Amino acid sequence: MKSFRYERASNIASACASVAQPAAKFIAGGTNLVDLMKLQIEVPDHLVDISRLPLNGIEETPDGGLRIGALVTNSAAAIDLRVRRRYPLLAQAILAGASTQLRNKATTGGNLLQRTRCAYFYDTTKPCNKRVPGSGCAALEGLNRMNAVLGVSDDCIAAHPSDMAVAMTALDAVVETVAPDGSSRSISIDSLYRPPGNTPHIETVLAPGELIVSVLLPPAPAGRQVYRKVRDRASYAFALVSVAAILDLDGNRVRSARVAFGGLSYKPWRSAEAEAALVGAPAARAAFDAAGAAALRNAHGYGRNDFKIPLARRTLRATLTQAVGLS
Amino acid sequence: MTDFLKLQSKATRRGFLKTTGAATLVLASPPAVGEAAAQTASLPTEHVALKINGRPYAVDLDPRTTLLDALREHFGLTGSKKGCDQGQCGACTILVNGQRINSCLALAVMHDGDEITTIEGLAEEGALDPMQAAFVRHDGFQCGYCTPGQICSAVALLAEHKAGWPSYVTTDVAIAPALSDAEIAERMSGNICRCSAYPNIVAAIREVAGEDRQ
C-alpha cells in the first residue's frame, strides 16, 4: 500500500473541501477501497475518514418514504423493520450481497460507489481502460464470464457488482449529495452511473469532492416485491444475473411492473421495455417471456458471458412467477 | 504433527497449543516490534488507542496498518489469523463494538477508541467460552487456522439472531426466523474452512443456540 495522509473529517464541508483536491479520497467502511489500496489499484495520497460524520440515521420522510444516511451500514439498513416491512426487496438484495462481516462495515454510499470486480481491473499485469486509461481491455477476448452484456462499449465491459443498488433502482431511489461549494443536489440512481463509452475510468456523474449524504426511497409502490440472485454458489458470491421486480396485479392482469437487472451492465439495468411488455398483460408465462425478450433485445455477449442473455430471461420469468405466487 | 496431536487427550492438546502459542509469541515479537519502529521513524504516524478484550492498548501507527496487523504485529494478539488478507476468507474475523468484521479490511486508525473482542478475549480465566467448548466437542475444525474467525463469527451470529436479524435464506424478511441449519450455513458463509469442517461447525453452533433458547 502506498503511504497516505490520514484526516478524520469533523464535518461535511471540510470533508468535501479536502476531497476536492487531486488524489484525495473519502473512506467510510473501506471494505472495497482498502482492498484496492493494498493492490495499488487505488493510490490516494490523502484519505479523508468520513465514518464519524452524522450520516448514519434512517428517517421517515413526510410523504411516507425513507431517507437512508450514506453511512448506514448495509446490515443496519437490512435489519431496519421499516425497510423489511415496506421495502422487503431492498432488505433481500442487501442480504444477498457479501457476508455479514462485510455488511457490518460496508456503507450505503460506499456500496453505490464500489468498483467493478472485473478480473482484469484487479489484475495489474493486464490491460484495463478503467484502471489505466488507454491501455486496452483484456476482458473483451478474455475470461469475461462475469462481465456485462448491456449498455457497455468495446473499451470496457465491466459489470457493476452491487445487489443493493439493483433494488434501489427498482424503487426509484434518489441519491442526495453535497458539493464542496456547499450546494446539494438530488440524482436519480439510474442517472448516477455514466456509461463507459471511451472513458470507463469515469464511473459516476459526481464531481470531485461531491459527497453522497443519503439515499431517498420514495414511498413503496403497490405490488409484490422480489429480489432473486443467480450465482455460482449458494452464498457469498457476486451475481451472474439478478432481478429486482415489483409486480402489481389487478386480478390476473399486470397493473404495473418494475424490473431491474444486476450483473448485466455498468449499472443496475432498469428495463422500461420489460415493464411495457408486462403492463396490461395476463400475469403468466407468455407475458414474462415477452418481457425477457424485450429486456435483452439489445444485449451482446462477448463469448464466455453469452449464457447471461438466456439466463437473464429465465431469471426474470422465475422472479415474476415467484412474485405472482406471493400473497 | 497433526497425527501427533490426534493422539493427545483434549486437555493435553489444548495445553500443548497454548504453550506453542506462547513460545511463538516470544520468538515473533522482538523482530516485529523492531520493524515497526524502523518504519515509524521516517513516516507519519497516528496515535491509536483501543480497548481490546477489556484492556487498554495504545500505539503510534503508520495509518496504513490494518486492524489485523495492529493486533498481530503490534499487540502480540496472534489469535486472529491472516488468511486471504482481502476479506474473502473470514479468518481475521473479530468483534468491534459488538459487531463482527473482517479486521484485514479495516484501518486501525479509523477504529481509535473502539472496543474490540478477539478470540483471546472469549475464554475467561482459562474457562472456554461455550462456543469454543462446542467446537471442541463437535470437532468443528481440522487444521484449526480458520477456527478463531469461525468462533468469533459464530458468537456474533447468535447475538444477531437473538436481535431478530433476517438473512438471505429467511422466507419473509419482515419476520425474525428460527435458527435452522440453512440459516446457520448462510450466516456463516463469510468464513471459509478449507478442511471443510462445515457439518461439525454447524452442529456446534446449533448446540450453543439450543442452550441459549432454554
Tell me the per-residue pLDDT of B97-146, one tens digit each, with 9 for 90 and over.
999 999 999 999 999 999 999 999 999 888 999 999 999 999 999 999 99
Instruction: Give yes or no for B26 touching A (CB within 8 A).
Output: no
**Cα Rg, chain B, nearest whole Å:** 18
Q: How far is CA A127 from CA A135, A141, A145, B147, B194, in A?
A: 5, 12, 17, 38, 32
Sequential DSSP letters for A117-154? --HHHH-TTS-BTTTSTTS-BTTTTS--TTS--BS-BT
Conformation bin of residue A3: beta by default, left when phi > 0, alpha when psi is -120 to 50 = beta
Distance from CA of B112 to the nearest CA of A (A): 11
Cβ separation A88–B173 shorter than 8 A:
yes
> The C-alpha cell of A294 is what?
424485450
In degrees to the nearest 10, what's the CA dihedral of A153, A238, A109, B95?
A: -150
Residues of chain B contacting A6 with CB distance shorter than 8 Å: 44, 46, 63, 107, 109
Per-10-residue mean pLDDT of chain A, 327 residues long, equals 97 98 97 98 98 98 98 98 98 98 98 98 98 98 97 98 98 98 98 98 98 98 98 96 98 97 98 98 97 98 98 98 88
Identify which of B43, B101, B153 has the shortest CB distance to residue A105. B101
What pLDDT is stored for residue B42 in this prediction? 67
What pLDDT is stored for residue B43 in this prediction? 77
What CATH number is given for A5-49 in this structure? Answer: 3.30.43.10
Pairs of CB atoms within 8 A across A/B: 104
**A77: nearest Cα among A238, A215, A246, A239:** A215
Which band of pLDDT confidence, cut at 50, 70 and 90, is reported for residue B212?
Answer: low
**CA angle centred on B130, ends B148 and B11, rounded to 5°:** 75
Rounded to whole angstroms, the Cα distance separating A298 from A307 reads: 15
* pTM, entire model: 0.92
Q: Who has greater pLDDT, A168 or B18?
A: A168
The ipTM value here is: 0.96
- Supply the DSSP symbol for A282: B
Distance from CA of B20 to the nearest CA of A (A): 29
Cβ separation B173–A92 shorter than 8 A:
yes
**CA angle centred on A33, ends A228 and A84, rounded to 5°:** 35
Task: Using the CB atoms, write b or e for B147-158: b if 16+ within 10 Å.
Answer: bbbbbbbbbbbb
The answer to which of A170-184, A242-256, B18-32, B79-93 has the lowest mean pLDDT is B18-32
Indicate the pairing of strand A24-27 with strand B115-117: unpaired
Residues 6 or more apart in contact with residue A128 via CB below 8 angstroms: A118, A120, A121, A135, A136, A137, A138, A139
What pLDDT is stored for residue B29 in this prediction? 41
Instruction: Give yes or no for B196 touching A (CB within 8 A).
Output: no
**CA angle centred on A101, ends A99 and A107, rounded to 5°:** 90
Distance from CA of B1 to the nearest CA of A (A): 32
- Supply the DSSP symbol for A319: H
Instruction: Give yes or no for B101 touching A (CB within 8 A).
Output: yes
Domains of chain A, residue spans: 5-49, 224-325
Helix residue ranges, H only, A220-307:
272-278, 285-295
Instruction: Kindly state the greatest CA–CA separation across chain A.
Output: 62
Preferred mutation among B86, B105, B165, B188 to probe A, highest tally of A CBs within 10 A: B105
pLDDT at B12 over 70: no
Cβ atoms B66, B104 nearer than 8 A: yes
Identify which of A51, A92, A99 has the shortest CB distance to residue B190. A99
Rounded to whole angstroms, the Cα distance separating B9 from A118 reads: 49
Sequential DSSP letters for B174-195? TSPPP--HHHHHHHTTTS--TT
What domains can be seen in chain B, in order of their start residue? 2-121 (3.10.20.30), 130-213 (1.10.150.120)
What pLDDT is stored for residue B211 in this prediction? 75
Tell me which chain B residue has its CA closest to the CA of residue A47. B63
Identify which of A30, A81, A100 has the shortest CB distance to residue B107. A30
Cβ atoms A27, B110 nearer than 8 A: yes
Q: How far is CA A33 from CA A1, A197, A252, B153, in A?
A: 11, 24, 47, 23
What CATH number is given for A224-325 in this structure? Answer: 3.30.390.50
